[in-house]
Chain A
Amino acid sequence: MNLMANILINVITSFLGGSLLLGLHRKIMARIQLRPGPPIIQYLLHSLKFFFKETSLPKTASPVFYISIVCILAGIWTTGVIVGPVTQGSLLIMFGIYAVYKIVEHNMGSSSGSPYGKLSCVRAVFSAASEIPLFAVVALIFFQTGTLSIAGIIHYQSVNGPLIFTIPLAGVMFFILLLTKSPYSPFAITKGKELISGYETEHFGFLRGFLMFSESIAWFIMSWLFLTLFFGPLSVVYYVIGMIAITVVTAFINATSPLLNPNHSVMLQITIAFVCIVGTIIMMVV
C-alpha cells in the first residue's frame, strides 16, 4: 500500500479508536460510581466540538510555545503512529516520544502563566523522575529478546511465546505507565482536580480540541504498544479485545482509587519500578 495512505489511515484509526476507548473509559467509571455517564461517543464529539469554540490568546502567555507545544504533541504522536503500527521501528524512539510527552505536560503548564499550569509544570518534573524509570522496561525487554526493534520483538514472541509469561513484572511496569496516562488516574498528579485541569487548564477553544485529538492517539498507541510488546503477534480482533480490556481495567482502578498526593505517587511508582526491575533480573538469572 501507498505509505502516506497507510500513515493517514493509521492516524485516523488511532484517533477514532482512541476517542471511543476514552469515551468507554468515562462511561465505565460513571457506571461504577452509580451515575448514568455520558454516551461512549461523547469524547469524540467533545474533541470535534472544541474546534468551533471561542479561542483567544491569554495576555500573560508566551505566544510561540503556547501554540506550538500543541502542534508538537500532535507531531510526536504522528511519529508514534509511524514508529508503531506503520513501520514497527525502534522502541528507543518510542521512549523519546514518551519523554517529549512529559515535556509537553511541563511546557504547556508553564507557557500560559497560570498558577494552576505552573504547579502542574513543577509536578511534571517530579512525575518524570518516576515515569522514566518505569520506561526503563525497554532495557529489560532488550535483555530478554536481544533487540529493541518492535518487528524483532514480535518475531521473538512468535518463536518463543508471549513475553508476559517470561517477564511478567516488566509487563506490570508498562501497565503502571498506561495507568498513569489514563484519565482520572491515581498517579495523574499533573492533571489533579485541585489544579482545575492541571496543564490543560489554559488551553481552551480549538487548542483543547487539538490536544484531545493527540491524547486519543496517545492512548491508542500506548495500549497498542503494551499488547504488541507483551502478547506477541495478535490479529485485529484480539487487538480490539485487548484494548477494550485495558480500558475496562484502568477504568475500574481509577473509579475506585483516590488521587494520590504527589510525593506518594512518585514514591509508589519508584517502588514499583525498583521491585519489578530487580524481580525481573532475578527471574532472568534463575
Chain B
Amino acid sequence: MNKQKIISYTLLLVSILAIVYALIFNPADWIVYGIAIVFIPCFILSFGILTMAKPIDDEKEERDEEPFIGY
C-alpha cells in the first residue's frame, strides 16, 4: 500500500468519524458548521482518490507530460 492510499484512507476515516460525531452527539452549532464545511469536501476528495483509476506504469509518463487532452 503506498503513501497516497494510506493518507486517503485516514482522511476518509477521519471525515466519516467527524460527521458521525456531529450526527450523534449534537455539539454546539459552530462546531457542526465547521465539521460540515471542512469534512464533507474532505470525504469526497478522499473517496475520489480511492476510487479513481490510475494510469498503468507504461503510460504514466505520457499522461503527466501531455495533460492537455480536453475531453
Evaluate whether A4 and B35 lie within 8 angstroms (CB atoms) in the complex, with A52-B53, A60-B67 already known.
yes
Contacting residues of chain A (42-98) with chain B, CB-CB under 8 angstroms: 51-61, 67, 70-72, 74-75, 78-79, 82
Chain B interface mostly: helix
Interface of A is mostly: helix
- Whether B16 is near chain A, meaning CB under 8 Å from some CB there, is no
Name B53's contact: one of A5, A53, A58, A196 (CB within 8 Å): A53
In the bound complex, do residue B64 and residue A57 qualify as a contact, i.e. CB atoms below 8 Å apart?
yes
Are A79 and B37 in contact, CB atoms less than 8 angstroms apart?
yes
Binds B, one of A126-134, A140-148, A199-207, A277-285: A199-207
- In the complex, the answer to whether B41 meets A71 with C-beta atoms within 8 Å is yes
A59 to B47, CA, bound (A): 23
Bound: A234/B32 CA distance, A: 27
**Residue contact B36 to A78, C-beta cutoff 8 Å:** yes
Whether B67 lies near A114 (C-beta < 8 A) is yes
Interchain CA distance A209-B52 in the complex, whole Å: 10
A4 close to B32 (CB less than 8 A): yes
Nearest A residue (CB) for B69: A204
A75 to chain B: closest residue by CB = B41
Q: How many residues of A contact B (CB 8 A)?
A: 41
Interface centre among B41, B54, B63 (most CB of A within 10 A): B41
Query: Chain A contacts of B48 at CB under 8 A?
Result: 51, 55, 206-207, 209-210
B40 and A11 contacting across the interface, CB-CB below 8 Å: yes
Q: Would you give the 0/1 interface string for B56-71, flagging 1 where the beta carbon is closer than 8 Å to chain A?
A: 0000100111011111
Cα distance A183–B52 in the bound complex, in angstroms: 26
Q: Is A286 an interface residue (CB 8 A)?
A: no
Residue among A3, A11, A197 making CB contact with B26, cutoff 8 Å: A3
- C-alpha gap A51/B52 in the complex (Å): 6
B41, A78: Cβ atoms under 8 Å?
Answer: yes
User: Are the C-beta atoms of A51 and B67 separated by less than 8 Å?
Assistant: no
Interface contact B51-A206, CB-CB below 8 Å: yes
User: In whole Å, how far is A197's beta carbon from the nearest beta carbon of chain B?
Assistant: 7
The residues of B that contact A72 with a CB separation of less than 8 Å are 41
Which chain B residues in 1-47 approach chain A with CB under 8 Å?
Answer: 19, 22-23, 26, 29, 32-33, 35-38, 40-42, 44-45, 47
Interface string of A174-210 (1 = CB under 8 A from B): 0000000000000000000000110001101111011
Give the Cβ gap from A235 to chain B, nearest Cβ, in Å.
Answer: 26
- Residues of A within 8 Å of B26, CB to CB, are 2-4
C-alpha gap A55/B60 in the complex (Å): 10
**When the two chains form their complex, are residues A82 and B70 in contact, meaning their CB atoms are under 8 A apart?**
no
Residues of A within 8 A of B60 (CB): 56
Complex contact B36–A7 (CB within 8 A): yes
Known: A3-B29, A4-B23. A75 touches B67 (CB 8 A): no
Provide a sorted-by-A list of 9 A–B residue pairs whose CB atoms are within 8 angstroms. A4-B35, A8-B23, A8-B40, A54-B53, A59-B65, A74-B40, A74-B41, A79-B37, A82-B36
Residues of B within 8 A of A (CB): 19, 22-23, 26, 29, 32-33, 35-38, 40-42, 44-45, 47-49, 51-55, 60, 63-65, 67-71
4 smallest beta-carbon distances between A and B, as pairs: A58-B67, A206-B48, A74-B41, A4-B22
